[in-house]
């Protein structure tokens, strides 16, 4: 997982690698961008979790558009937007974001799928761990997990004083 900001046009707005990793860990949702078999762009907001080892996990139904797109082209982009604030009198927006180039994999082992679901539970439902784990067990047969292996990522922000 390489942190690489060389393609960011505004070099004065870079996030540090530590700031980008924080956003990767704490971001609430991301936009998964794929290519359809027909060659069209398709982006979808999803909940996600980073495993701390260069992988992002997303859960979904065991069939559907995301999975068809990945089987067509597993090279995907993932974007996380953190805090934003419109500064209307300055006609601008303060923001932070991370863009990741990833390889998507499906067909994971049952063990890896369950580990990913447990990571998602820890992130989004830490107070309801026991109930969530029972729910994951019960719905496991109808839950797919996508693993995004991060090849490269970059981070950018705009800090504006009000």
Considering the domain boundaries, does residue 137 fall inside one?
A: no
Considering the domain boundaries, does residue 127 fall inside one?
A: no
What's the pTM? 0.91
Domain containing 69 equals: 2-109+143-158
DSSP string, 57-111: EEEE-SSSHHHHHHHH--EEEEEEE---EEEGGGTEEEEEEEEEEEEEE----HH
Provide the number of structural domains found in the chain: 1
Asked if residue 147 lies in contact with residue 116, where contact means CB atoms within 8 angstroms, the answer is: yes
Considering the domain boundaries, does residue 89 fall inside one?
A: yes
Return per-residue pLDDT of the chain as tens, 162 residues: 898 777 888 777 788 899 999 999 999 999 999 999 999 999 999 999 999 999 999 999 999 999 999 999 999 999 999 988 998 888 988 889 999 999 999 999 999 999 999 999 999 999 998 888 887 888 888 899 999 999 999 999 888 876
The predicted pLDDT at position 1 comes to 83
Considering the domain boundaries, does residue 130 fall inside one?
A: no
Considering the domain boundaries, does residue 120 fall inside one?
A: no
**Which CATH number characterizes residue 9's domain?**
2.30.110.10
Considering the domain boundaries, does residue 12 fall inside one?
A: yes
């Amino acid at each position: 997982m390489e942190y690489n900001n060389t393609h960011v046009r505004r070099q004065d707005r870079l996030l540090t690698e530590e700031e980008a990793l924080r956003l990767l860990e704490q971001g609430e949702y991301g936009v998964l961008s794929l290519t359809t078999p027909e060659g069209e762009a398709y982006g979808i907001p999803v909940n996600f979790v980073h495993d701390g080892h260069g992988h992002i996990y997303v859960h979904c139904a065991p069939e559907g558009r995301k999975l068809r797109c990945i089987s067509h082209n597993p090279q995907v982009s993932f974007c996380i937007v953190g805090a934003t604030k419109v500064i209307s009198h300055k006609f601008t927006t303060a923001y932070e974001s991370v863009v990741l180039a990833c390889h998507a994999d499906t067909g994971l082992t049952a063990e890896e799928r369950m580990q990913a679901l447990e990571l998602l539970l820890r992130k989004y439902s830490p107070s309801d761990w026991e109930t969530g784990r029972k729910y994951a067990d019960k719905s496991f047969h109808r839950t797919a997990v996508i693993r995004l292996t991060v090849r490269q990522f970059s981070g950018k922000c705009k800090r504006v004083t009000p």
